């Protein structure tokens, strides 16, 4: 079945745009200057103490984002987004090393489904932790997903526009310095009801697990 454009009634709601939330980290310099008599020794000590924490703070598990359209199994895609082209459509990014997103959407009868998979790369693992905390702070009402990357979080919300319900699930996982962000939503245009919370949540988590696995399979040491 061919892809359908996003229905007008849901345009405002169903236009997932992933925004990179990576935070930079500043490192302090060496210790303050010491008396001239011990200048050389103090300079050496200062260099050593400043270099060690810098290496740890700038630990970076991944240098770039993987191809998102190949991160979810074809069988899973057919189940989550019936009628969609399994190849997906990658959304153009200003810097593919930092952010890549793939989208699938289709109308199967009266049932509409939309799935986005995004990889967002921060400049260090510490920056990734900060980005993760900031992101879930904006998605209150959800809960942790154990065993999903280094950290995982899931939330599902229901919205109604022109009497049409839409239920959307967002799963965010951190793996090193990368955020894996899944957006999965759906509507029934015949009944105007939305899929159940359980269906959307489980579908989003399944896609997230496969996307995380795809990222980890190419992890640098």
Is the residue at 97 inside a domain?
yes
Q: How far is C-alpha 210 from the chain's CA centre?
A: 13
Name the band, by pLDDT with cuts 50, 70 and 90, for residue 122: very high
Residue 105 lies in a domain: yes
pLDDT (average), residues 91-107: 95
Answer yes or no: is 191 within a domain. yes
**Three-class SS of residue 1?**
coil
Can you give the three-state secondary structure of 126-172, one letter per residue?
Answer: HHHHHHHHHHHHCCCCCEECCCCCCEEEEEEEEEEECCEEEEEEEEE
- Binned at pLDDT 50, 70 and 90, residue 124 comes out as very high
Residue 84's pLDDT band (boundaries 50, 70, 90)? Answer: very high
23 belongs to a structural domain: no
* Number of domains forming the structure of the chain: 1
For residue 145 the two structure tokens come to: 């997903």
pLDDT of residue 108 exceeding 80 = yes
Q: Does 143 score more than 90 pLDDT? A: yes
Instruction: Report residue 47's pLDDT band, with 50, 70 and 90 as the boundaries.
Output: very low
Residue 37 has what pLDDT? 41
Distance CA 150, CA 163 (A): 39
- Dump pLDDT digits (tens) for 1-10: 444 444 444 4
* Selection from 22-36, 58-72, 193-207 with the highest mean pLDDT: 193-207
Q: What is the mean pLDDT of the chain?
A: 81
Query: What is the C-alpha to C-alpha distance for residues 37 and 172, in angstroms, rounded to an integer?
Result: 55
**pTM confidence score:** 0.74
As to burial, measured by CB atoms within 10 angstroms (0-12 exposed, 13-18 middle, 19+ buried), residue 178 is buried
Asked if 100 and 79 count as a contact pair (C-beta separation under 8 A), the reply is no
Q: Is residue 42 part of a domain?
A: no
Domain membership of residue 153 as a residue range: 63-216
CA 82 to CA 75: how far, in whole Å? 10
CATH assignment at residue 90: 2.60.120
pLDDT at position 36 is 41
Dihedral sign, Cα of residue 103, residue 104, residue 106, residue 108 = negative
């Amino acid at each position: 079945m061919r892809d359908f454009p996003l229905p007008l009634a849901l345009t405002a709601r169903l236009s997932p745009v992933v925004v990179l939330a990576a935070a930079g980290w500043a490192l302090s310099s060496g210790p303050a200057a010491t008396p001239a008599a011990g200048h050389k020794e103090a300079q050496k000590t200062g260099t050593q103490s400043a270099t060690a924490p810098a290496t740890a703070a700038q630990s970076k598990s991944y240098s770039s984002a993987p191809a998102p359209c190949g991160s979810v199994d074809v069988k899973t895609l057919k189940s989550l987004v019936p009628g969609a082209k399994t190849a997906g459509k990658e959304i153009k990014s200003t810097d593919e090393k930092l952010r890549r997103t793939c989208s699938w959407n289709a109308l199967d009868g009266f049932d509409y489904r939309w799935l986005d998979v995004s990889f967002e790369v921060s400049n260090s693992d510490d920056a990734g932790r900060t980005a993760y905390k900031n992101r879930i702070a904006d998605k209150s009402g959800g809960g942790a997903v154990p065993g999903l990357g280094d950290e995982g979080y899931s939330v599902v919300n229901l919205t109604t526009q022109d009497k049409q319900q839409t239920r959307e699930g967002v799963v965010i996982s951190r793996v090193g310095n990368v955020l894996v962000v899944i957006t999965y939503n759906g509507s029934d245009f015949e009944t105007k009801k939305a899929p159940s919370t359980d269906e959307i949540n489980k579908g989003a988590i399944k896609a997230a697990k496969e996307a995380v696995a795809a990222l980890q399979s190419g992890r640098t040491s």
